[in-house]
Amino acid sequence: MTLVSTPHARRAAAHRPWIWLFLLPTIVLFGAYTVWPALASIWYSFLNWSGYGPERPFAGWANYQLAFSDPLFWKSIGVTLLIIVVTVPLRVLLALVLAIFLNDPRLPFARVLRTAFFVPVVATTAIIGIVMNFVLDPAGGPVNHVLGNLGIGPVDFLGDASAALWTVMGVHFWKWLGLTLMYWLAALQTIPNDVQEAARVDGASARQRFTHITLPMLAPFVAIITMLTIVETMQIFDLVQTMTGGGPFFSTLVTEVYIYQQAFETARPEYGYASAVGVLLGVLTLVVVGVAAIVSRLIGRKGAVR
């Protein structure tokens, strides 16, 4: 850290009580609402605990063994990974293409166009999910109304187990593409204008500038943008819970919804088991992010060499 120079250190002694007073809100609040919950979740995952009453005997690895032999747990992991494998590459690639077009200085009304893609990102996910229930309704929804006029359907987008997951992925992609777009636009801002300008003066064509300057300079961002997009995708609770609640027939059961059901939505809540599944999801997140980091770094390096 090069943030501090000597005068700070000298003054620090005189101001020590103030320093700790200023850190107090963070230590108390962040400690109680982030650090402790993380540790407590791990502890809970080893308890046989319903969530009610003081009885919570130590259960060892029982919750984890239960998870590994629970078909719904595996189903939920499969659904979560499928959503990541399908939507993350699409989002990262298409958002990059879109960002390059939207970053073009010749483009009129660029700000307005950008805003249009950003707006679904900030729209409340739960509300979008609830409204989509009507928009995609097979009986009276407007989408099927239009499809009906075209002589198609009706399609039961959310009620048909073979269609529901793809529908959720489509809405998820629509809603969050703009966020990945924001990441890429921020990455494009880091390319200094004078580099492009110098290349132009030297007679490089637009295409040469793109393949020899823009792409190599964006390569280092592939890894971080992919990771951010994956982590968001793992937190897909709001949309799935409001659109399908994990159904029909568990076809959209993502792990976050499964945890919620185990902890809050059943007549017999299982805090211990829900915590174990939560810890496993946390571990899976780290593994997936790690793999993605390695893969996209390899891709990035290839791009840079070329």
Partner 1 sequence: MTRSRTAGWVQFAVLAVLALAWVYPLLWIFAASLKDDASIFTDGLSLIPDQWNWQNYVDAWQTAGFARYTLNSLVVTIGSVVVVILRCATAGYVIGRYRFRGRRVVLGVLLAASFIPTGLAIIPVVRLSTELGILDSTLGLILALSAGGNVAGVLLYTGFFAQIPDELEQAAHMDGAGFLRTFFSVMLPLSGPITATVAVVTFIGTWSNFFVPLVFTFSDPDRRTLAVGMLAFQGTNSTDWTGLAAGATMSLVPVLLVFVLLQRYFVEGIAGAVKN
The footprint of partner 1 on residues 104-123 (CB under 8 A) is: 104, 106-109, 112-113, 115-120, 122-123
List 58, 61, 174, 249, residue binding partner 1 (CB under 8 A): 174
Nearest Cα neighbor of 126 from 235, 249, 228 is 235
For every residue of 88-109, DSSP letters joined together read: HHHHHHHHHHHHHHHT-TT-TT
Task: Describe the crossing of helices 36-44 and 271-305 by its angle, rounded to 10 degrees.
Answer: 120
Shortest reach from residue 69's CB to partner 1, in Å? 22
Shortest reach from residue 53's CB to partner 1, in Å? 12
64-84 burial: b if 16+ Cβ within 10 Å, else e: bebbeeeebbebbbebbbebb
Nearer to partner 1, 115 or 162 (CB): 115
End-to-end CA distance of the chain: 34
Task: Describe the crossing of helices 71-102 and 110-122 by its angle, rounded to 10 degrees.
Answer: 170
Question: What is the per-residue binding string for partner 1 in 80-99, x denoting contact by CB under 8 A?
Answer: --------------------
Rg for the chain, CA atoms, rounded: 25
Shortest reach from residue 306's CB to partner 1, in Å? 23
Nearer to partner 1, 251 or 271 (CB): 271
Distance CA 303, CA 27 (A): 43
List 81, 84, 182, 299, residue binding partner 1 (CB under 8 A): 182
Residue 193 in the binding site for partner 1 (CB under 8 A)? no
Question: What is the per-residue binding string for partner 1 in 201-230, x denoting contact by CB under 8 A?
Answer: --------------------x--xx--x--
Q: Residue 17 in contact with residue 251, Cβ under 8 Å?
A: no
User: Which residues have CB under 8 Å from 138's CB, separation 6+?
Assistant: 144, 153, 154, 155, 156, 157, 159
Residue 189 in the binding site for partner 1 (CB under 8 A)? yes
Please give the residues from 5 up to 34 whose contact with partner 1 meets the rule CB under 8 A.
Answer: 5, 7-9, 11-12, 15-16, 18-19, 22-23, 25-27, 29-30, 32-34
Please give the residues from 233 up to 272 whose contact with partner 1 meets the rule CB under 8 A.
Answer: 234-235, 237-238, 241-242, 256, 259-260, 263-264, 271
User: What does DSSP assign to residue 200?
Assistant: H
Alpha helical stretches, state H, 158-269: 164-189, 193-201, 206-209, 215-234, 237-243, 255-264
Residue 287 in the binding site for partner 1 (CB under 8 A)? no
Shortest reach from residue 242's CB to partner 1, in Å? 7
List 165, 275, 292, 300, residue binding partner 1 (CB under 8 A): 275
Residue 187 in the binding site for partner 1 (CB under 8 A)? yes
Nearer to partner 1, 165 or 178 (CB): 178
Please give the residues from 114 up to 173 whose contact with partner 1 meets the rule CB under 8 A.
Answer: 115-120, 122-128, 130-131, 133-135, 140, 142-143, 145-146, 149
User: What does DSSP assign to residue 61?
Assistant: T
